[in-house]
Structure 1
Amino acid sequence: MIKYRNILVVIDPTMPEQPALLRAVELARLEDVTRIKVFLAIYDFSYEITSILSNEEREEMRQGVVTHRLGWLSGMIKPYQAEGLDIEPKVIWHSRPFECILQEVKEHGHDLVITSAHHHSLLKSFIFTPSDWHLLRKCPCPVLVTKHHGWPAGGNILAAINISDEPEQMSLNERIIHEAKVISQLAKANLHLVNAFPAPIVNIALELPGFSPELYSDAMQQHHKTEMEEYARKFDIPAECIHIVEGMPEDVLPELAHSLDAELTILGSVGRTGWSAAFIGNTAERVVDSIQGDLLVVKAYE
């Protein structure tokens, strides 16, 4: 199943290694037809405020920096080009990296963006910059945040869906599962689906006469089980790979991903503002900080 034909890899020159590039190469080898663009946005404010230089001299200096970095990227990808991979470098001068990344995706039809998570060596966690969050919230194609580990055959992929009657959410669920199926087949991995549903609110349990938290929880469990089984049948996913867990997503997902030793966790984003922005800014932030595997964020179709 061919899926990712045009990957954009975001390079971070401050990192000694580039996990995003390694992951893109891995996918290209699996699909055998993928084009890869290695992309770097650079900017140095000192070149903009130097008063002793003319505009032409400043532009010449900027182009010199771009040319130097382009040579650096070209050397980095040369071994992959030698083995026949379709891979090219691109460097631009831009003060807001996420904006030029989004523009690049829209203008050149990239179907996957891969970026590297920033590891905090002291806290043993991963740090996202404001540009990272803007990219996750606004990128029209899936964004894969990768870390320093492999995707061994026979591993596990965890896709999180939200049971809802809203058409937009149902469409997003199907897109999440579709992306997960593609990657699990490419990586020869086992696909697991998870749905987290909230526990009854304590205040409601106290204020409503005759309200039974146990019956409520059982009813919710059964409802979500029925819906998840329908997704499993539709997408041919084994029943033992379906997980319905009571709790908040930011608690459930890291725990299940850890127990499965999942190489990849897939989340969805409905839109760019409101609930989706809060979801990406809160739930995913905790998930990224807690999960050692990769993270794929998928948007609803627009």
Structure 2
Amino acid sequence: MDAFRHVLVVIDAADEQHKALKRGLHMARLSDARLTLFLSIYDFSYEMTTMLSSEERDIMRSNLIADRKAWLTDLLSEFDTDAIAIDISVVWHNRPFEAIIREAIKHKHDLIIKGTQVSASFQNLIFTPTDWHLLRKAPCPVLLVKEHEWPSHGQIIAAVHTGSEEEHHQKLNKRIIEHAQSMSKVLDASVHLVNAYPSAPVNVAVEIPEFDVSEYTDALEQHHVNRMAALGREYGISSHYQYLSQGLPEQVIPEAAKQLDAELVVLGTIGRTGLSAALLGNTAEHVLDQLNCDVLAIKPEDFVSPLA
């Protein structure tokens, strides 16, 4: 899978660290990606100015958009942008997530980069409503970023779901790994496969006395080991870079990220009704809230945004 080439960088005027911009520039230097800096603005008071005509309100909005474009140009002057192709887009829209998605669809961006907020007390990510809408509805992968740099020779986690026999899960696993490996080439990083498998159902052990919990658990673990090994062989990822643990994804994935000091976790989002509980539902919310690193969320190949 090729590196991202047409990247939409969501600018947050309130973010003094400019996390998304820094990450986008870093990626562009390494991969020759073209960047579009995108800012969605809206002021309800402009719509409520009854003393002004419609034409006068349009002029006020246009002036504000021009002012924000000039601000973005000044902001870029603070960074090294040599040899990086950069466009600027400012739109007037009262729903930021919808403006972002429509921009991505209109101009066929292959990646959206957005900064996240961070809890000062726990250093965990805090996902805003806009973040969740993007994860659910964006037509392309979404990279949610923190302040830290991406060092060379870092660690990338591909969070796979090896227990399912369903074709859409298997296809999504492959997309996750392919995107992780593509990012690893750009960042000169190592890819680790991470998978969680469940424990034996407690109610079965209670209702069926002859049920051998230990035998069941061993068989389940071996099944996941075999499936993980098969993915590893297919993508050239050795067993030393495969992390398998019993437990829930919201426990296993953050623990693996902490142990590896990962810079990036690549995971899948399945858009059925909003988000599937397969990963991006309640489970994924717990996973994402506990991660102390960047997150790259990947959609199935046939996903169509509900805003398209």
Q: TM-score range by the shorter chain?
A: over 0.9
Q: Does 1:252 align with 2:252?
A: yes
Conserved? CA contact 1:40–1:91, under 8 Å: yes
Conserved? CA contact 1:138–1:272, under 8 Å: no
Q: Does 1:74 align with 2:73?
A: yes
Once the two structures are superposed, residues 133-155 of structure 1 have per-residue CA deviations (whole angstroms, 9 ceiling, x without a partner) of 11001112110001011111111
CA change 1:194–1:299 in 2 (3 A) is same
The alpha-carbon deviation at position 21 of structure 1 amounts to: 1.0
SS of the aligned residue for 2:236 comes to coil
User: Percent identity among equivalent residues?
Assistant: 45
Map 1:1-302 → 2, pairs under 5 A: 2-31=2-31, 33-78=32-77, 82-122=81-121, 124-163=123-162, 164-273=164-273, 276=276, 279-302=279-302
TM score, norm. by length of structure 1: 0.95
CA distance in 1, matches of 2:71, 2:239: 49
The alpha-carbon deviation at position 132 of structure 1 amounts to: 1.2
Once the two structures are superposed, residues 103-154 of structure 1 have per-residue CA deviations (whole angstroms, 9 ceiling, x without a partner) of 1111111111100011233554332221211100111211000101111111
Conserved? CA contact 1:80–1:87, under 8 Å: no
Conserved? CA contact 2:96–2:130, under 8 Å: yes
Range that drifts further, 288-297 or 268-277 = 268-277
What code does the residue aligned with 2:89 have? K
What code does the residue aligned with 1:49 have? M
Give the unaligned 5+ runs of structure 2: 303-308
The alpha-carbon deviation at position 24 of structure 1 amounts to: 1.0
Give the unaligned 5+ runs of structure 1: none
The alpha-carbon deviation at position 204 of structure 1 amounts to: 1.3
TM score, norm. by length of structure 2: 0.93
- Structure with the higher helix share, 1 or 2: 1
SS of the aligned residue for 1:280 comes to coil
The alpha-carbon deviation at position 278 of structure 1 amounts to: 7.4
CA change 1:72–1:155 in 2 (3 A) is same
What code does the residue aligned with 1:141 have? C
The alpha-carbon deviation at position 280 of structure 1 amounts to: 2.3
CA distance in 1, matches of 2:182, 2:93: 34
The alpha-carbon deviation at position 30 of structure 1 amounts to: 0.8
CA distance in 2, matches of 1:279, 1:225: 20
Once the two structures are superposed, residues 34-55 of structure 1 have per-residue CA deviations (whole angstroms, 9 ceiling, x without a partner) of 1000000011111111222221
Cα RMSD after superposing both structures: 1.7
Once the two structures are superposed, residues 254-295 of structure 1 have per-residue CA deviations (whole angstroms, 9 ceiling, x without a partner) of 111001100001110122426526742422322222211100
Conserved? CA contact 1:5–1:111, under 8 Å: yes
User: 2:306 aligns to what?
Assistant: none
